[in-house]
Structure 1
Amino acid sequence: MASWGHSRERSARRNPAEQRFGCAVRFHPVPRAEPAGRTACTDVGCGTPDPPELRRVTIRPTGSGHNRQATTGHPHSGTGRGLASGPEQGDDQEHAPVDPPDEQPTPEPRGQMAFSDPANRPPPWVRRAVLSLLGGMAALWYLRGVISSLRSLFLILLVSLFLSFALEPAVNRLERLGLRRGVGTALVFLLGFGALGGFGILVGTLLAEQVTTFSDNVPGYLEDIDGFLEDTFGIPDATADLRANYDSGMLAQRLGDVADDLARFGTTIVNVLFQLFTVGLFTFYLLAEGPKFRRTVCTLLPPRSQRTVLEVWDLAIAKTGGYILSRSVLALLSGAVHWAAFEIIGLPSPLALALWVGVVSQFVPVVGTYIAGAFPVVIGLLNEPVHGLWAIVVIALYQQVENYLLAPRIISHTMQLHVAVAFGAVIAGAAVLGVVGALLALPAAATIQAVASAATGRHEVAEELLAESQVRRGQPGDDAT
């Protein structure tokens, strides 16, 4: 019996359960109790062999300080005797049944076990936060597409709003004279479109005439250049190729085509104005229904916010309208002075050139003065070089008079912007909205500056502190000069 137990013990050491679960399995023989009324068969030829005795299996998990024991029934017993669990007499260890190696439960994968355990699941707010983030990103992407599609509409509304601010002082003045607001708005629109259309027609006609004149005078220009190069540098026939091209008609045909295109320049401006009918429509309604529109906006706000909105609105109208008024006055003065000067010099189409200089120099910010002055200078040089030089002198002198005498007196009552602020505003407006942004930058900057000044206020300068600061920097004070 001892040898049988030792052999079973050795086989248990090689049991797959030890290899699978990492535990030591030990079998201990337990005497079997015979049922009542039955004797054990001890004869050699007995046909019903006694079943082997019960075995108590001890399981010792590796790496754990606890032992578990279980008692199993006879493997051939048909009664299906249950497993006895619990401490045996004289043994304080726990007992548990041992499944056969083939019937051991398969462990779940690591990720599945982590999420199947309710304790390891993420809290519900994490799922809601992720869904909210994804939904917000999708909404922003969709909103970006909508804004990109409606960019032209937003630009039209912005231009219409600034035009309504610029024209409202004139409409209000006509309304005070007794005209109805709608009639006054229509009259202002007719005057504005008439002025722009006339300006375009005059300038376009002038360009067409000058290109045609230049085309006719090309042979004489080439001969003069050829004679100058030969007499001065000894280079004969320097313009022979150009004369050959012109004699063949190629150059003249190209210049004629350009002249025809420029002849339609004034008509093109009028067509563009009609294509901007939407801007005019919005501007008309904002002017004609301005008081009602402001009342509608104020009904959506509390009384304190209504006061703020109306003050900002009035500042925007005052600054934008004042900007347009001051620039219009300066444009009229510039046009009148240059018209008289160009007549004296003898430039062709002096009225058109004077209107060009007056309008472009005043309403195109920063670079408008240079663009306005370049055109009459080129026209004068093409006709007579002396005329071009006199045009440069006249334009330069008038700019000095305007910058130091006229502009400070006129603009100081409407809009005060530092040169650096104006330049930065134009650059920013051009970067955001292109040409339209550059044109609207100055009135927008003036409005923002006025609103900021009204909101923050101004304070007196502590002169003694300023003097001390100048002394520390090594600069002389006011009384030292």
Structure 2
Amino acid sequence: MPRWLPRAMVLALALIACFQLGSWAFHQLTGLLINILIAFFLALAVEPAVSRMAHHGMRRGAATGLVFLGVIVVGAGFITLLGSMLAGQIVDMVEDFPKYLDSVISWINTTFHTELSRVEIQDSLVHSDWLQKYVQNSASGVLDVSAQVLGGLFRILTILLFSFYFAADGPRLRRALCSVLPPAKQAEVLRAWEIAVDKTGGYLYSRGLMALISGVAHYILFVFLDIPYAPALAVWVGVISQFIPTIGTYLAGALPMLIAFTVDPWYALWVLIFVVVYQQFENYLLQPKLTAKTVDIHPAVAFGSVVAGTALLGAVGALIAIPAVATMQAFLGAYVKRYDVTDDPRVHGHRRRGGPPLARLRKALRGEPTGTPVDQAAAETQDGQGPAAGTSDDRA
């Protein structure tokens, strides 16, 4: 046995053990790493406001605390307003449920010539095995729901704490990062950091502006239809549709439709039509213009980045995918060498004269010339019919 073989086997086993330990630790810390990633992008979003306050003489820690206090107050006010609205609507729906049920039963009896009764339906529901099992499962799942709520609150506090430290100690963090890099690399890191701040802030600015426009448009509709809690519903639609990717539009439109249904079922249909029409207006007219001015990313690239982010990190990946891709695109764009574009018509989507083979075949069947003007001139020259052909006396 060679003398190096035992040492190589021990080294290989040690490497395998280190890989397994690192993989286990990474899986255990995945939740914490995702929270840190969210906190970092949140810190980038508030960086412009904090830096502006610090530039006017306020301490950076106090400026960061003031910005986060404003964010917490706005979020808590939105949740409180929405919760009170939902509580009132749920009470009204429970009180009016017998009336809705009577109207539905009357429509069924008239349409299908049946003899259903609300008392019989209520008795069958109360004594059904499905309802009893559902109540038992709901009672046993109260503790699970409570644990999920507490876990969500702890996660929010963790994200806010890391975001506060990232924003308040931003200069110190940049100095610590640059201290381990050579001067040339330091400039690149600082440039990437600045681009990330601009793109993240631009993304949130565009989303906030679209949320404002969406909220105002839906508020006008809710007031016109005399739907209760119109301001709260408008804020709900604007925020949820813009800051929850992919499914945010459907979640935002479901609640106004439900409340409109309690007023008049036809109002729910009008709300659905308006939500669909406005979504098309936003996707094809409003969003491309605002995205081009703030994030400067193609709509197809934005959609693909959201899909990729959702596949990698779920809802978190969908939320941070667009600013991350915009930052990467802007940073790498400085290293791509660009040239002047030729004046060839094909660059602008125009085909060269002469057409495809099928068009040439049609011309041949009609007895017309099938070549390009250059080919026709060459053919005329060969046949002696062009200006280049002629006798020697003519050329003299």
Q: Same fold (TM over 0.5)?
A: yes
| Structure 1 partner of 2:20 | 141
Structure with the higher strand share, 1 or 2: 1
Structure 1 residues 464 and 238, CA gap change in structure 2 (3 angstroms):
farther
Please tell me whether the aligned partners of residues 310 and 318 of structure 2 are also in contact (alpha carbons under 8 angstroms).
yes
- Which amino acid counterpart does residue 78 of structure 2 have in structure 1? F
Structure 1 residues 270 and 342, CA gap change in structure 2 (3 angstroms):
farther
Structure 1 residues 174 and 274, CA gap change in structure 2 (3 angstroms):
farther
Q: CA deviation at 1:149?
A: 2.2
- The structure that has the greater radius of gyration is 1
Matches within 5 A, 1:368-383: 368-383=248-263
Structure 1 residues 309 and 275, CA gap change in structure 2 (3 angstroms):
closer
Question: Which residue, out of 84, 87, 101, partners 1:205?
Answer: 84
Structure 1 residues 416 and 368, CA gap change in structure 2 (3 angstroms):
farther
SS in 1 for 2:293: coil
Please tell me whether the aligned partners of residues 292 and 298 of structure 2 are also in contact (alpha carbons under 8 angstroms).
no
Q: Does 1:193 align with 2:47?
A: no
Please tell me whether the aligned partners of residues 430 and 438 of structure 1 are also in contact (alpha carbons under 8 angstroms).
yes
Q: Does 1:334 align with 2:214?
A: yes
Q: Does 1:346 align with 2:346?
A: no
Which segment is superposed worse, 231-240 or 144-153?
Answer: 231-240
| Structure 2 partner of 1:318 | 198
- Which amino acid counterpart does residue 385 of structure 1 have in structure 2? P
State the distance in 1 between where 2:20 and 2:189 align: 32
Question: Which residue, out of 240, 245, 252, partners 1:365?
Answer: 245
Q: Does 1:228 align with 2:107?
A: yes
Q: CA deviation at 1:400?
A: 4.1
| Structure 2 partner of 1:308 | 188
State the distance in 2 between where 1:276 and 1:193 align: 11
Please tell me whether the aligned partners of residues 306 and 321 of structure 2 are also in contact (alpha carbons under 8 angstroms).
yes
Matches within 5 A, 1:26-37: none
Structure 1 residues 425 and 242, CA gap change in structure 2 (3 angstroms):
farther
Question: Which residue, out of 167, 179, 187, partners 2:46?
Answer: 167
| Structure 2 partner of 1:113 | none
Q: Does 1:415 align with 2:295?
A: yes
Question: Which residue, out of 436, 439, 443, partners 2:316?
Answer: 436
- Which amino acid counterpart does residue 446 of structure 1 have in structure 2? A
| Structure 2 partner of 1:297 | 177
State the distance in 2 between where 1:468 and 1:376 align: 46
Q: CA deviation at 1:219?
A: 1.2
Q: Does 1:399 align with 2:279?
A: yes
State the distance in 1 between where 2:151 and 2:86 align: 18
Structure with the higher helix share, 1 or 2: 2
| Structure 1 partner of 2:161 | 281
Structure 1 residues 269 and 315, CA gap change in structure 2 (3 angstroms):
farther
Please tell me whether the aligned partners of residues 342 and 350 of structure 1 are also in contact (alpha carbons under 8 angstroms).
yes
Q: CA deviation at 1:366?
A: 2.2
Please tell me whether the aligned partners of residues 165 and 317 of structure 1 are also in contact (alpha carbons under 8 angstroms).
yes
- Which amino acid counterpart does residue 301 of structure 1 have in structure 2? L
Please tell me whether the aligned partners of residues 323 and 414 of structure 1 are also in contact (alpha carbons under 8 angstroms).
yes
Structure 1 residues 143 and 306, CA gap change in structure 2 (3 angstroms):
same
- Which amino acid counterpart does residue 80 of structure 2 have in structure 1? I
SS in 1 for 2:49: helix
Please tell me whether the aligned partners of residues 222 and 243 of structure 1 are also in contact (alpha carbons under 8 angstroms).
no
- Which amino acid counterpart does residue 417 of structure 1 have in structure 2? I
State the distance in 2 between where 1:346 and 1:274 align: 40
State the distance in 2 between where 1:354 and 1:469 align: 43
Normalised to the residue count of structure 1, the TM-score between the two structures is 0.64
Which segment is superposed worse, 204-213 or 391-400?
Answer: 391-400
How far does the alpha carbon of each residue in 1:338-392 deviate from its partner, in whole angstroms, 9 at most, with x for none? 2232122111211111111000111111222222122212221233112212222
Structure 1 residues 418 and 133, CA gap change in structure 2 (3 angstroms):
same
Which segment is superposed worse, 198-207 or 139-148?
Answer: 198-207
Structure 1 residues 176 and 245, CA gap change in structure 2 (3 angstroms):
farther
Q: CA deviation at 1:412?
A: 1.9
SS in 2 for 1:413: helix
- Which amino acid counterpart does residue 175 of structure 2 have in structure 1? R
Q: CA deviation at 1:455?
A: 2.7
Matches within 5 A, 1:69-84: none
- Which amino acid counterpart does residue 380 of structure 1 have in structure 2? A
Matches within 5 A, 1:74-113: none
Structure 1 residues 139 and 246, CA gap change in structure 2 (3 angstroms):
closer
Unpaired runs of 5+ in structure 1? 1-120, 259-264, 477-481
Q: CA deviation at 1:421?
A: 2.5
Structure 1 residues 313 and 438, CA gap change in structure 2 (3 angstroms):
same
RMSD of equivalent CA atoms: 3.2
Please tell me whether the aligned partners of residues 345 and 351 of structure 2 are also in contact (alpha carbons under 8 angstroms).
no
Please tell me whether the aligned partners of residues 219 and 243 of structure 1 are also in contact (alpha carbons under 8 angstroms).
no
Ranges of 4+ aligned residues in structure 1 off by more than 6 Å? 268-271
Greater length-normalized contact order (CA 8 Å, ≥ 6 residues apart): 2
How far does the alpha carbon of each residue in 1:261-295 deviate from its partner, in whole angstroms, 9 at most, with x for none? xxxx9xx9899456522221211111111112101
Normalised to the residue count of structure 2, the TM-score between the two structures is 0.77
- Which amino acid counterpart does residue 399 of structure 1 have in structure 2? Q
- Which amino acid counterpart does residue 100 of structure 2 have in structure 1? Y
Structure 1 residues 328 and 273, CA gap change in structure 2 (3 angstroms):
farther
Please tell me whether the aligned partners of residues 35 and 159 of structure 2 are also in contact (alpha carbons under 8 angstroms).
yes
State the distance in 2 between where 1:242 and 1:383 align: 24
